[in-house]
Structure formats: C-alpha cells, structure tokens
C-alpha cells in the first residue's frame, strides 16, 4: 500500500493519530503545512490517501500560513486523483462560521440567530434585532478562540475593538444559555454515528469546549512554544458519555453528508429560554475525547486509523495516473 499523507500544523494534537497509525503498521508520511512546498503544475505525491488535519485555529500558534496552504494544496491533490479525507469542501466549511450558518439554514436545522460582519464599526449595528447577550467571534475560529460575550447593547457599543480573525470577518451571534449547563458533541465517521458526549463548562470560564485534555489551555494566545502540553491547565471540563436523541443524530449526519465531512464533530445545546436544540458549531478537525475507552467504550483514534487503512487499501493505482498530460 502506498503511504497515507497526513497534512497537519500542530504536532502535539496529531500524536494520538500518529501513534494509532504506528500501531496498525500503516505506512504514512507527515506534511507539516507551515513549512511545505508544491509545484502547481507538477504531479501529485504518490499517496494512497491524504488526511487533512489543518486546524482553523492555526493562526493562534503563529501557523497562519497553514490555512492558505491547505486551501491551495487540497484542490491540487483532488485534481490529481489523490483521495482526500475532509477535502476542500470540508475545509471551506471548517474555516468559515458563516458557511456553517448557511449550511444549517439550507438544511432547515436550527442554529443561533447571527449576523456576518467585515468591519468592526458595523458590529453594534449588526447586533440590532438580536436578543442579548450576544457573542462576537472570528469567522475563522477554533477552540473558542477570541470569542467575547456582551450582555447589553451599551456594553457592546463601548467596546473599542474586536478580533475578527485572519480573514477580517466575524460573526455577531445570540448567546444561548444551555438548559442544563451542558452542550452535546456528536462525533461521526464515514457517515455513521461514532459517539456522543456531554460537556459542562462553568459560566465564568472561556468558550473552549474541546474535549481533549491537550486543548485545555487558559489563553489561546499564551506563549508556550506551540505545544499546549507546556501550558498550565485550566479547570477541567466535566465530560460524560451521552445518548443523544435520534433526531439530533440524524441532523448531524445530514450535516456531514451535505458538508462532505468524512470525520468530525457537531455541537449543539438545548436552550434554557425555549427548550429547543440549536446546532452552533461544526468541526472537521476532531481531537477525540481524552480517555475515550473508559468514557465511550473504545478508542476512536484506533478506529479512525483502521478506517484510514481500509480506505487507502481500496484505492486503485489507476487513480494516481497524472490527469494533466
């Protein structure tokens, strides 16, 4: 079998996957997206499969170049017949909260009311008609990065500046208090339900609800040599296995199909104000929950690695003939 190419920008986050691939003796090659090159007119790499693991929060680790690299490199691979796990359509969705909101609307799946802005001067205007509290966040997010909550219009109007992220656009969105203080994250793989967990975060903590310990740092802009393991830990999240209602599993799998997501997680909450479920985040990059075997009964990294090998093994060598002659 030809090697599996893994495109990434955060070494620490990928160690569990690399370990799982090693455990099944799968051949793979690492491509660090922050220090990479390719010839747009040349042949593609001789990979059986490519796995896109570039995070939208790359820019918080001085890895901003990883996002435009992936935006160019993924179509390059696809045009040359290299199958890509979470390819360019999934990456467009992953790196745009606005695109996620559009997708939810097109599918008739309930999401928080929101406005898209491209100017800090328009934030207060955009919030008109929304129910407070509101959140202002970058369009390209990740791990709750740079999100700010405003409880009153006057508080929002008094804000001096907003971090709108690397593409200069952001989202002004109604904040929904969870009915029971918890959100639910449903993980999926290859169009099928993988597991679900509930995550409880204290109201006075930040918006980082990544369920892997490696994500739980106190400040996304803290300096710790790009390795979250070196940072002091914040108060742990309370995480439990969860059995979601069938209609929410169905909604998540519809999102996966429409968004062309091979693997990922979707987060939703039941709002205290009306008792209705709202999907508020779609993640193509999944840092699976810590200690999954004891929590959900199996190791999702091991299952993902086996799935990658099975998919790579099915790939025909003919798919890698140069398509531009």
Query: pLDDT for 66-98, tens place per residue?
Result: 999 999 999 999 999 999 999 999 999 999 999
Predicted pLDDT at 164: 85
Those residues of the chain that have pLDDT short of 70 are: 142-144, 202-236, 316-325
**Per-position b or e across 237-266, b if 16+ CB within 10 A of its CB:** bebeebebeeebbebbbebbeebbbbbbbb
What pLDDT score was predicted for residue 141?
A: 77
Residue whose token pair is 């008739």: 108
Give the integer Cα–Cα distance in Å for 182 and 197: 10
- What pLDDT score was predicted for residue 280? 95
- Residue 69: its pLDDT value, please? 97
Beta bridge partner(s), residue 188: 193, 264
Q: Are 279 and 268 in contact (CB under 8 A)?
A: yes
Q: Which domains does the chain have, with CATH numbers?
A: 4-86+306-320 (3.40.50.20), 94-110+177-297 (3.30.470.20), 114-174 (3.30.1490.20)
What is the pLDDT, as a whole number, of residue 142? 67
Question: In which element (H, E) is residue 231 found?
Answer: none
pLDDT of residue 252: 98
CA-based nearest residue to 207, from 221, 194, 220, 198: 220
């Amino acid at each position: 079998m030809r090697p599996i190419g893994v495109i990434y920008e955060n070494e620490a986050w990928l160690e569990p996957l690399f370990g799982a691939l090693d455990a099944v003796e799968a051949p793979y090659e690492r491509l660090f997206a922050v220090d990479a090159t390719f010839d747009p007119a040349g042949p593609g790499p001789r990979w059986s499969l490519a796995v896109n693991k570039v995070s939208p929060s790359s820019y918080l680790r001085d890895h901003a170049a990883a996002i435009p690299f992936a935006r160019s490199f993924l179509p390059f691979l696809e045009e040359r017949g290299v199958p890509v796990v979470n390819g360019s359509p999934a990456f467009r969705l992953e790196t745009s909260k606005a695109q996620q909101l559009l997708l939810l609307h097109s599918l008739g799946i309930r999401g928080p009311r929101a406005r898209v802005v491209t100017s800090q001067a328009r934030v207060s205007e955009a919030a008109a008609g929304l129910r407070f509290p509101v959140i202002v966040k970058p369009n390209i997010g990740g791990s709750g990065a740079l999100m700010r909550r405003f409880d009153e219009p006057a508080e929002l109007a008094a804000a001096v500046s907003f971090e709108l992220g690397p593409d200069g656009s952001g989202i002004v969105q109604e904040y929904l208090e969870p009915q029971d203080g918890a959100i639910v994250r449903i993980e999926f793989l290859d169009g099928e339900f993988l597991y679900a967990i509930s995550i409880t975060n204290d109201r006075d903590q930040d918006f980082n609800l990544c369920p892997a310990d490696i994500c739980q740092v106190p400040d996304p802009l803290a300096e710790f040599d790009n390795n979250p393991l070196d940072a002091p830990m914040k108060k742990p999240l309370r995480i439990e296995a969860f059995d979601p209602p069938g209609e929410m599993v169905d909604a998540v799998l519809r999102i996966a199909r429409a968004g062309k997501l091979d693997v990922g997680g979707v987060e939703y909450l039941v709002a205290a104000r009306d008792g209705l479920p709202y999907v508020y985040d779609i993640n193509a990059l999944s840092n699976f929950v810590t200690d999954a075997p004891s929590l959900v009964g199996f190791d999702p990294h091991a299952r993902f690695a086996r799935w990658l090998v099975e998919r790579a093994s099915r790939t025909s060598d003919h798919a890698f003939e140069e398509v531009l002659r």
